[in-house]
Amino acid sequence: MRTLLQPNSPNNNTELSEEETMALESSLKDYRANSLWRLMLRRVFRQRSAIIGMVILGLLVLVALLAPVITSYGPEKVLIGMEPVRKRAAPCIHLLGCPEDEPQHLMGIDGNVRDEFSRVVYGTRVSLFIGFTTTGFAIVVGVVLGAISGYAGGWVDNVIMRLLDVVMAFPSLLLAIAIVNVLGRGLQNALLAIAIVNIPSYARVMRASVLSIKEQNFVEASRALGAGHSRILLTRILPNSLSPLIVQGTLGIAGAILSAAALSFLGLGAQPPTPEWGTMLGTERNQVFSAPHLVFFPGFAIMATVLAFNLLGDGLRDALDPRLASKPA
Amino acid sequence: MAPVFQYIVRRILLAIPVLFGILLVTFVLARLIPGDPCKAMLGEKATQEVCERFTREHGLDQPIPVQLGIYIRNVLKGDFGESIRFSRPVTIILIERLPMTLELGTIAIIVATLIGIPLGIISAVNNNTVVDVITMVGANAGVSMPVYWLGLMLAYVFALLFKGTPLALPPSGRLTAGLTAVPFYEVYNILLEPESIKFHLYEFIANLYILNSLVTANWKVLGDVLRHLILPAAALSTIPMSIIARMTRSSMLDVMSQDYIRTAKAKGMPKRTVVFKHALRNALLPIATIIGLQLGTIFAGAVLTETIFGLAGVGRMLFEAITARDYPIVQGFTLVIAIGYVGINLLVDISYVFIDPRIKLD
């Protein structure tokens, strides 16, 4: 049997036989199986917390996508005149002994006679959107600043890092509050504020990676081959600094969702009737003694979502950070 | 000069540009408020005349660098302007409100540290056992919880469900109606000139109810104050506690895997001595850092916790000022909290020298 290592076959046929194609494919598969990303994924899947986080997150994404299928009411639908329900009525679940002739409301009715369950379910969309957009924005700006800072060095580095130090000197939620106070309340401004507050952490991570990678031989080799700064940054440094960014970003999403909910709770973020969990909790907070379900469910949803991202982030860190490789969590 | 002293001085000097940056940020934020700064600072009802005088007095007709100079001069003098809503100096309001927040924040950070560090140690010593998993799942849930949600749920459970049982706790306020914390200077008949600096200082100390009731030996008030603080402190300390526990665990695991610990164990040293004397001391540095950083969480958490538990502290004032668009208060309070945060983290930095004598003094 000929192997691939003997390219010049005796019959000089340029076409590969079926056998040869299969052999080639399987060797390619072996090669792919050991690629960096594969290895990382395999390590990630060995982390219990990452798997739990991914499962919860998967469920949340499903809930967000299938919201209209899961719920029987729109998130802003006022039920007055449609059903004989009271304002802030407790949950009515048929399985738990609620009379069959009453309409089922898994999480009860809110202060504006809307179905709380529908609002919590649709809130998943809002919160996931908040988490991904703010973090995405913060990462892009942070990566650019960090890359410039680390790559350029000198006074540029100094100026950028001192500016970021100042942003980090504020307790983050407080600075976000101060920024929204100036920009004006509303979801968009709250998201912008949270993104600004989070930029330094990504810039620092990126700068640290750039500093350690830019002196390595393969970067030196690229430079010797005549690659320009932007090419080195984009094709050499950025791909190699992705894993700490992914870890930081995942944990950052958790923080962003929590901060956005807090701003909304204070009335600075999403405005009613948007089904945002923090806003829902904020508007009903004085009713906690008479209608605890209106506080419990949105808060629990926030915790579950934030927990999912925290677990995933922790798992990713344990899997991707070589310094922690010996310590399974 | 002793190197330790040099280190401390250098740390303080390094904090100055950051403090200047903070001043700059609050200044810029104040100028970015949309619309007329006069209307923003004095309220919509300010007349043309009043506005012109305000603009002149505050140098708002001057070039921006001059305005920055005036702003810094005022802040250094402790003048943060006047509240729109109360027509009183922001500084005075701050002095009145700060003791409550200090009391709550101090208790919360003490509770978080005293519970968080042992939890982390237990978790690390029993690495990968059921105890470890339960503690870390708890800690993960703890960092993921919204403070205000936890606070409201605690209030519901302890004030409503446990009503009438010995476990019942008050869900709001600092003192039960009818009780008053008589200031120590009244108890001991110290005569004070009203509105003098000394008066405000004494008032500030008297507003620290725990301290005041200790000084005046008023145990009934002390007990009541503490009972009122349990729920807010529990809510406020949960996130820092979880973070401290996680940091302690990973720091301890790091240290416990080092050679000298194995040597100590091999020598047959009691486990307790190895863990507490050899490992913990060396694991403390990152824990101290994280405790310092948690004060940021505490300050921000105070805004939410005080709002929920009806406590008249800095945080609740800030929240009310936001709602009422009382810009001077928001700006002034943010500035003071940020400066406090930098100051405390500076102290943490300096404490490294005492925690770990090997630290590089540069």
Amino acid at B117: I
Name the token pair of B358: 């090997």
Q: What's the confidence (pLDDT) of residue B114?
A: 95
CB-based contact A295:B149 (threshold 8 Å): yes
Does B323 have pLDDT greater than 80? Answer: no
Q: Do residue B141 and residue A303 have CB atoms under 8 angstroms apart?
A: yes
Residues B201-206 have a mean pLDDT of 87
Q: What is the DSSP letter of B82?
A: B
Whether the complex's predicted ipTM is more than 0.90 is answered with: no
Record: contact B331-A292, CB cut-off 8 A: no
Shortest distance, CA B111 to any CA of chain A (angstroms) = 20
With H, G, I as helix, E, B as strand and everything else as coil, classify residue A15.
Answer: coil
Residue A112: predicted pLDDT: 79
The whole-angstrom separation of Cα B315 and Cα B235 is 14
DSSP A155-203: HHHHHHHHHHHHHHHS-HHHHHHHHHHHH-SSHHHHHHHHHHHHHHHHH
For the segment B336-353, the average pLDDT, to the nearest whole number, is 84
Categorise residue A97: left if φ over 0, alpha if ψ from -120 to 50, beta otherwise: left
B261 Cα to chain A: minimum distance (Å): 17
Taking the CA atoms of B68, B74, B80 and B85 in sequence, report the sign of the dihedral they define: negative
| pLDDT tops 90 at residue B6 | no
Over residues B115-126, the mean pLDDT reads 93
Q: Residues near A148 by Cβ (< 8 Å), separated by ≥ 6?
A: A156, A160
Tell me how many residue pairs between chain A and chain B have CB atoms under 8 A apart. 148
Task: Report cis status (omega within 30 of 0) of the bond before A273.
Answer: yes
Q: Residue A46, Cα to own-chain centre: how many angstroms? A: 20
Q: Which residues contact A225 (CB under 8 A, 6 or more apart)?
A: none
> Nearest by CB to A169, which of B22, B257, B308?
B22
pLDDT in tens, chain A (329 residues): 444 444 444 444 556 677 777 776 766 665 555 666 777 778 778 878 888 899 999 999 999 999 888 888 888 877 777 777 778 878 888 777 788 777 778 888 888 788 888 899 999 999 999 999 999 999 999 999 999 999 888 899 988 988 898 888 888 888 898 888 888 889 999 999 999 999 999 999 999 889 888 888 888 898 889 888 888 888 888 888 888 898 899 999 999 999 999 999 988 888 888 899 999 999 988 888 888 989 999 999 999 999 999 999 888 888 876 555 444 43
The rounded distance, in Å, linking the Cα atoms of B203 and B183 is: 7
Ordered DSSP codes for A72-140: SS-TT---TTTS---TTPPPB-GGGT--TTSPPBTT-B-TTS-BHHHHHHHHHHHHHHHHHHHHHHHHH
Q: What are phi and psi of B190, to 5 degrees?
A: -90, 120
From the list A169, A262, A289, which residue is nearest B146 (CB)?
A: A262
Tell me which residue in A162, A262, A303 faces B21 most closely, judged by beta carbons: A162
Q: pLDDT higher for B270 or B84?
A: B270
The distance of B300 to chain A (nearest Cα, Å) reads 6
Structure tokens at A131: 């988490």
Cβ within 8 Å of B, A 120-179: 162-163, 165-167, 169-175, 177-179
